[in-house]
Amino acid sequence: MEDFLAISECSTDELTGLLEESRSLKALYKAGQRDLCLAGKTLAMLFEKPSLRTRISFQVAMTDLGGSPIYVKPEDIGGIGKREPVKDIARVLSRYVHGIMARTFEHRTVIDLAKYADVPVINALTDWSHPCQAMADVLTIVEHFDRIEGITIAYIGDGNNVARSLAFAAGKLGMKLVVASPPGYELDSASMETANHFAPGCVTQLDDPRAAVADADVIYTDTWVSMGQEDEKEKRRKEFAGFEVNADLVAAAPKHVKIMHCLPAYRGFEISDEVTESPNSIVFDQAENRLHFQRALLRKLMS
């Protein structure tokens, strides 16, 4: 593995290896010990989109491994690919740092960074894919269920980058994903076909949230209004009516069901405050596991 751009590009062995390494490094971290395998190495963190979890988790992970993270704000580079071509940014940074993490709008940006960089490139989010989040989610599921294979996730809401990455994870790791979306917001057919190519029948699409959660081990949701879509807020609120993860929907699922959300959560929109704060919620375990998965990923790619 040279880069980490999308789960669909990774083998099952690579993904399971990263999960095992995540659990090992998390145990080390909880014991107050550190693995300084990246001492003397530097990670450039490029941001087109701001983020609390992405920035802090990568920065802490890199520091905990003995390395040095450098936060690069959008204004520092005038927009990736705007003031200067992505291929030039990639080649210049390759002369300065040992790895590049990018949180961008277009997925093409991270593809081009990886193509022209001589150092590992990590996709920390694009509009098409959010692989670090999905793998932190799988790590969280393993911790709560002690298994991956056979787990059923009901994803309720917009068929976005998170849903797509979870679909690829399901196909690679033996899970099932049921996506329930209102018309026009379904997971795209190409991504469904890719996931089901890995494991036939692992991903299905419905328009009924209650049917989707009937056999779920996990109910997962994400914002209905992603960054850059703020002008669609009221339109989406109307079109997603009936898709809020609330107490009534959770009651239609098995009692053992866990609730997941990648945050930030807009309580009262896609998820209720009651459900977020319920004993079934493992939302903040997910948030923590961004740190532990990314530590393992940095170690794998940069040590």
User: Is 166 contained in some domain?
Assistant: yes
Cβ atoms of 300 and 29 within 8 Å: the answer is: no
Residues 147 and 108 in one domain: no
Cβ atoms of 97 and 90 within 8 Å: the answer is: no
Confidence of residue 226 (pLDDT cuts 50, 70, 90): low
What's the rounded Cα separation, in Å, for the pair 7 and 228? Answer: 24
- Residue 187 is classified by DSSP as P
Residues 42 and 142 in one domain: no
User: Is 2 contained in some domain?
Assistant: no
Residues 63 and 152 in one domain: no
The contacts of residue 198 (CB under 8 Å, 6+ apart) are 8, 168, 171, 172
HSE-CB of 27 using CA atoms within 13 angstroms: 6
Residue 229: its pLDDT value, please?
Answer: 61
- Give the tens place of pLDDT for each residue, 195-225: 999 999 999 999 999 999 999 999 999 998 7
Q: Is 227 annotated as a binding residue?
A: yes
Nearest one of 301, 228, 297, 303 to 21, comparing CA atoms: 297
Number of domains, the chain: 2
Q: Is 131 annotated as a binding residue?
A: yes
Residues 137 and 282 in one domain: yes
* Model confidence at 228: pLDDT above 70: no
Nearest one of 190, 150, 270, 255 to 222, comparing CA atoms: 270
Residues 108 and 209 in one domain: no
Peptide bond into 131 cis (omega under 30): no
Q: Is 158 annotated as a binding residue?
A: no
Q: Is 226 annotated as a binding residue?
A: yes
Residue 288: its pLDDT value, please?
Answer: 98
Domain harbouring 74, CATH code: 3.40.50.1370
User: Which residue is listed with tokens 């419905």?
Assistant: 206
What's the rounded Cα separation, in Å, for the pair 111 and 206? Answer: 31
pTM of the prediction? 0.96
164-191: average pLDDT: 98
- Give the tens place of pLDDT for each residue, 234-263: 888 889 999 999 999 999 999 999 999 999
The secondary element (H helix, E strand) that includes residue 287 is helix 283-302
Residues 196 and 237 in one domain: yes
Residue 299: its pLDDT value, please?
Answer: 98
User: Is 83 contained in some domain?
Assistant: yes
Work out the angle at residue 160's Cα, subtended by the Cα atoms of residues 251 and 90, and round it to the nearest 5 degrees: 140
Cβ atoms of 60 and 86 within 8 Å: the answer is: no
Residue 55: its pLDDT value, please?
Answer: 96
- Give the tens place of pLDDT for each residue, 53-86: 999 999 999 999 999 999 998 888 777 877 889 9
Residues 23 and 142 in one domain: no
Residues 48 and 190 in one domain: no
Paired strand residues for 42: 68
Peptide bond into 50 cis (omega under 30): no
Residues 106 and 38 in one domain: yes
User: Is 69 contained in some domain?
Assistant: yes
Q: Is 290 annotated as a binding residue?
A: yes
- Give the tens place of pLDDT for each residue, 99-156: 999 999 999 999 999 999 999 999 999 999 999 999 999 999 999 999 999 999 999 9
Residues 53 and 153 in one domain: no
Residue 49: its pLDDT value, please?
Answer: 86
Residue 62: its pLDDT value, please?
Answer: 98
Active-site residues, by number, are 103, 130, 133, 222, 262, 290
Residues 116 and 179 in one domain: no
Share of the chain above pLDDT 90, in %: 89
Residues 68 and 210 in one domain: no
Q: Which of 24-28, 46-50, 227-231 has the lowest mean pLDDT?
A: 227-231
Give DSSP secondary structure letters for 119-152. Answer: S-EEEEE-SS--HHHHHHHHHHHHHHHS--TT-E
* Model confidence at 92: pLDDT above 60: yes
What's the rounded Cα separation, in Å, for the pair 154 and 216? Answer: 6
Residue 198: its pLDDT value, please?
Answer: 98
Q: Tell me which residue range forms the domain holding 115.
A: 7-130+290-302
Burial of 241 (0-12, 13-18, 19+ CB in 10 A): exposed
